[in-house]
Amino acid sequence: MTTNPLKGWQVDRARIRTVGQDLQRPECILAQRDGSLLVADARGGVMRIDADGTQRLIVPTRSGDADTQQGFEDRYVMAKGSLPNGLALLENGDIVIANWGTDSVELLTREGTLRTLYSEIDGRPIGKANFVARDSKGRVWLTVTTRMVPWTDSINAGVLDGYIALMDDKGIRIVAEGFGGTNEIRFDAKEEWLYVVESNARRISRLRVADDGSLYGREIYGPSQLDGFPDGFAFDAAGNLWITLIMSDKLIALTPDGDVLTLLDDGNPEATATLNRHYADKTLTPEIMQAAKGTLAPWMASLTFGGPDLRTVYLGSLMGNTIPYFRSPVPGLALIHW
């Protein structure tokens, strides 16, 4: 039996390096074969960081009025302005954006022009558009965390109003709903299962994928509740699911055997304990959430594998201004654009 390369391994903080500077809310990162990174940016667009470190901010004119000096309440609770969140790279190099601030799905072309693809679904506002993912058939999948305003109220309320929508040549349609804070989604290597982060419910779910894009056979994957709020995740080549726990700022891995491994703990223990206590009591406030964060990638929100061998792990965050990265003992599972 092959030994899991993550068993007994942890991130060596002394070996962590950073890339990028003066970034704004680098929530989602897409690594490319040429060594460049595409990073969501709160100024209303995407930051391209080339392999040599050169940065170029792609900000459409329409988003130029993004207020990057907003306070915590406006920016992180009320989510005012354009806040690109999840990114998906299309085959032609255009980028689909789930915009957390405008509650819409946008298309940013390679030339830097922006247009809104969808702001409504079934005649209703989309809600908190969180993440997008492209599959091998060219379809784009969207997650919506909640329709509650502000979104933070959905945590204490325990509502299950998150959903997954599918965008294809027929338009946009909801294909699964009833999730507790839908966040990132990922396919397994054969696209037989779609894995779903339910941030508010603190769990990972998965559903089988039919050829027509319908989803069925939903089940919880791993523990019924994780010890924190999962946000982003990614598979490695050994079948481990790496998961960021935002606010408690931990990086964990869920093994195929169901074990939970802590790979990196950058949280504030006291603030995390307070966060977890108020979560259990349904008395969370934005102030409590704001106080809980680490120092490497504050409000650690995502991870992606990159580098020529897919062994470089980049960490995205909501409050950081740079991107920490380190080497993994196992390569990541290549995304569809790789």
Tell me the mean pLDDT in the region 196-200.
Answer: 98
Output the six-digit token pair for 40.
Answer: 């969501």
- Provide the pLDDT for residue 73: 77
- Provide the pLDDT for residue 79: 74
User: For tokens 């580098």, what's the residue?
Assistant: 307
Tell me the mean pLDDT in the region 21-38.
Answer: 97
Residue 161, pLDDT > 60, answer yes
The DSSP 8-state label assigned to residue 295 in this structure reads S
Residue 167, pLDDT > 70, answer yes
Residue 68, pLDDT > 60, answer no
Quick one: pLDDT band at residue 1, thresholds 50, 70, 90? low
Percent of the chain with pLDDT over 70: 97
pLDDT in tens, 209-265: 999 999 999 999 999 999 999 999 999 999 999 999 999 999 999 999 999 999 999
- Provide the pLDDT for residue 61: 66
What are the residue boundaries of the structural domains of the chain, listed by start? 13-327
Q: Can you say whether the dihedral through the CA atoms of 177, 250, 83, 335 is positive or negative?
A: negative
Q: How far is CA 19 from CA 26, 30, 54, 298, in A?
A: 11, 13, 10, 15
Quick one: pLDDT band at residue 2, thresholds 50, 70, 90? confident
Q: Can you say whether the dihedral through the CA atoms of 317, 244, 313, 30 is positive or negative?
A: negative
Compare 77 and 168 and report the one with higher pLDDT.
168
Quick one: pLDDT band at residue 64, thresholds 50, 70, 90? very low
Q: Tell which phi-psi region holds residue 197, choosing left (phi > 0), alpha (psi between -120 and 50) or beta.
A: beta
CATH code of the region 13-327 = 2.120.10.30
Q: How far is CA 216 from CA 162, 212, 318, in A?
A: 16, 12, 32
Q: Buried b vs exposed e over 33-66: b needs ≥16 C-beta within 10 Å?
A: eeebbbbbbbbbbbbbbeeeeeeebbbbeebeeb
